[in-house]
Amino acid sequence: MNNVINVIAFLAITLSSLLFSSAQAAENNYKQGYISDELFIYMHAGPGTNYRILGTVIAGSEVKITGSQDNGYSEIIDDKNRATWVESKYVTTQAGLRFIVAELNGKIATNSDFASQLDGEVNGLNSQVTLLTSDKKKLTAELKQLTTTLAETRTKIKDQDTNIKKQWFFNGALVLGIGLILGLILPRFFTRRKGAMESWS
């Protein structure tokens, strides 16, 4: 008994897998389609007005095209995953105005976000430029101060060098003058003293 149950369960699982795989494969073969820009159109259970009406589909709606056609009708899969038939003249692979407008609005929003991002980056760069300009002014002022200090230092060094040279010249002249005086006075002094000593003797 258990073997029979196991076999039935196995068959049920296998059948479910095959059905799911077939449905998945069929869905993968569907084309992307749209309902053309009419107010709305009726969906039928089969290819013709003599089939039951399943509802309406709004213009511009996105659908899947199965590829089946008959009697001027095309089979589609609507947004509720129902297989229905609509007149082929209302089925197109080109997006309707609603999708085009939505896509354009999306692009506009994206561009607006991008523009806002660029504005933020520009503002950031402007802030950096302002900061760099301020730093440049500060560095220019510091450079000017350093240049003035360097010029003053060079002037002081030049003055000190001139004073040192004057001091050396004065000291040299003083030594020379003392030497000349001693050179002239001492020989005469010794000569007079020697003469005085000779007269005494």
Share of the chain above pLDDT 90, in %: 8
- How big is the chain, counted in residues? 201
If one compares 5 and 103, the residue with the highest pLDDT of the two is 103
pTM (two decimals): 0.37
Mean pLDDT of the chain, nearest integer:
77
C-alpha dihedral, 83 to 89 to 91 to 92, nearest 10°: 160
- Cα separation, 1 vs 53, in Å, equals 48
What are the tens digits of pLDDT across the range 76-91?
Answer: 988 888 899 988 888 8
| Nearest alpha carbon to residue 96 among 48, 27, 40 | 40
- Cα separation, 177 vs 91, in Å, equals 127
Query: What pLDDT is attached to residue 25?
Result: 46
What are the tens digits of pLDDT across the range 28-62?
Answer: 567 776 665 556 788 888 898 899 998 888 877 78
| Nearest alpha carbon to residue 86 among 67, 96, 66, 72 | 72
If one compares 155 and 31, the residue with the highest pLDDT of the two is 155
